[in-house]
Every structure is written in structure tokens, then in C-alpha cells.
Amino acid sequence: MIAVIDYGRGNLGSVEKAFRRIGMPAVITQDPRSLDEADAVVLPGDGAFHDAMANLDRLGLVPAVRRALDGSRPFLGICLGYQLLFSTSEEFGEGRGLDVVPGAVRRLPAGRKIPHMGWNRVEHAGELRLFDGIPSGAHFYFVHSFYPVVAGASRPALTEGGLRQTRVAPDARSVAPDARSGAPGVAPDVRSDASATQGLPLRAAWCEYGVRFAAAIEVGRIHATQFHPEKSQRWGLRMLENFAAIVKSGR
């Protein structure tokens, strides 16, 4: 069974309905015990970063969420639930996230309509299991005003192509860099507290919207997307089917 965390943010019904459509049992819950007993955990979300962290804390869910992120089970973060995995966010002032993935959440640059809302292409190099059977350049549905700057994303050829380093993740090969070194776009003293991710490669898929950003990541059994797979029709359902297959396989 998949547990979908209910902390007062996100299209919980849409996520549960999408899993039901592909034949994967899912339950919406605020019960820490249900999170501990689930085969996999999904953290969805819409809204403000700090409010979401406050709600998780108020409901006593933070310890259970951290246990779900210890690498022993598949985990899927969606939209705000993706951003909460990072160390910090500058939304309404600097604040701490779950600090599982080193990096910082920044506001999308001026020059394009904000929020970034609607369909956009996501490019990948065939390395993320969520994208099995999904072509690079497939369109997914986005709604967000902030994006994560990922410390340590692997950089296949498709992420380079003359793109300036300051517009993508710092050039590192694992998710355990010393962020105090002043890597571009990463808040000072940003270090992950989750031993489950230490030393594991962090792979990313990419989207362009005024800046090239990591639209999805995979590090160990942790998967996350900035877009909404439950709203992304054909390819979104295929992605949820891929996550369900990961859950069933125990990988």
C-alpha cells in the first residue's frame, strides 16, 4: 500500500485517484503509524514552503516523514513535496526544509510569466526509473513559482550544450558536497542530514523556463518531481505506473 501524506496541502484526491486508476492501492493519511507501515510514501503539495513545514510539524508528521526518507522504501515527492526535500527555501524569507537533498529553493527569474503554469518539456538521459518508457522531451504539467537548485546533480551531455554553469546545478558527482565551498546558487552551510542519500548519485531530468532547472530527481529510493504527474495525462500515468512497479519490486 502507498500512503499519501495529508498535511493540508496538495491535490490529495487527484493523487489517490490516479493511483487507483492504475490499480495501485493508496490511502490518504495523517497517521504516523500508517506512514511507518506503508510500502511507499508520497508527499504531494501546493502552496507555501514554510506553511507546509509548519503543518507537518504541527501534525507531528516530521519524524515519520524522515523515517520514510531513510532509504528503506520508495518515496515520491510531488511539486511542493519535492521542494520540501531540500535544505532551504528563500520563499518569504530563508527557511529550513527536510534537508534530505542538499540544495536551495529559489524564485524563478524575472522575464517570464510567474507562476510557471501549464505544459512544458522535460528532458532526460534515460537514467531515472520514473521515466522508463517515457521519451525525453515529453510534456508534463507544472504549477510553481520557485525551483530547486540541486547540489550534486549528475550532468549528462544533454544538460550542458553550452549552458552556463550558474544556470544549472553545481558541478559535483554525488549528493554529499561541502556546500560551504561557495558553489553557485547554493545557500551557505547547506548539508544533508539524511545518511540514506550520502554518497549516492543524484540523477536529474531537466526543464527550461527562464532558467534550466531539475524538474525531477532520483537518489537511491527517493524520487521527486516539480511537475504534477497526476495531472499530466498519458505520461503522468505512465510515471505513476513506473513508481508502482518500483514499489512492487521492492527496489
Could you say which of 16, 218, 228, 241 is catalytic? 228
Sign of CA dihedral 128, 136, 42, 45: positive
Report how far residue 97's alpha carbon sits from residue 105's, in angstroms, rounded to the nearest whole number: 9
The confidence score (pLDDT) of residue 153 equals 58
CA distances from 70 to 1, 41, 75, 83, 100 (A): 18, 11, 9, 17, 9
Residue 189, C-alpha cell as written in the block: 552551510
Contact status, residue 44 vs residue 82, Cβ threshold 8 Å: no
The confidence score (pLDDT) of residue 179 equals 32
Helices and strands counted in the chain (H then E): 6, 13
The confidence score (pLDDT) of residue 193 equals 55
Among residues 44, 91, 40, which one has the least CA distance to residue 68? 40
The confidence score (pLDDT) of residue 196 equals 61
The confidence score (pLDDT) of residue 152 equals 59
List the pLDDT tens digit at each of the 251 positions of the chain: 999 999 987 678 899 999 999 999 999 999 999 999 999 999 998 888 999 999 999 999 999 999 999 999 999 999 999 999 999 999 877 789 999 999 999 999 999 999 999 999 999 999 999 999 999 999 999 999 999 998 855 544 343 322 333 333 333 333 333 332 333 333 333 344 555 677 889 999 999 999 999 999 999 999 999 999 999 999 999 999 999 999 999 77
Is 79 a residue of the active site?
yes
Residue 149, C-alpha cell as written in the block: 537548485
Among residues 163, 11, 13, which one has the least CA distance to residue 80? 11
Could you say which of 16, 218, 230, 241 is catalytic? 230
Measured in whole angstroms, the distance separating CA 22 from the mean position of its chain's CA atoms is 21
The residue behind cell 546533480 is 153
Is 230 a residue of the active site?
yes
Measured in whole angstroms, the distance separating CA 32 from the mean position of its chain's CA atoms is 21
Among residues 33, 30, 35, which one has the least CA distance to residue 1? 35
Could you say which of 79, 91, 223, 241 is catalytic? 79
Phi, psi of 99 (to 5 degrees): 60, 40
Query: Tell me, what DSSP letter sits at residue 96?
Result: E
The confidence score (pLDDT) of residue 238 equals 98
The confidence score (pLDDT) of residue 236 equals 97
Contact status, residue 117 vs residue 142, Cβ threshold 8 Å: yes
Contact status, residue 210 vs residue 235, Cβ threshold 8 Å: no
Contact status, residue 236 vs residue 141, Cβ threshold 8 Å: yes
Inter-helix orientation angle 233-249/12-21, to 10° = 70
Q: Which amino acid is at 240?
A: L
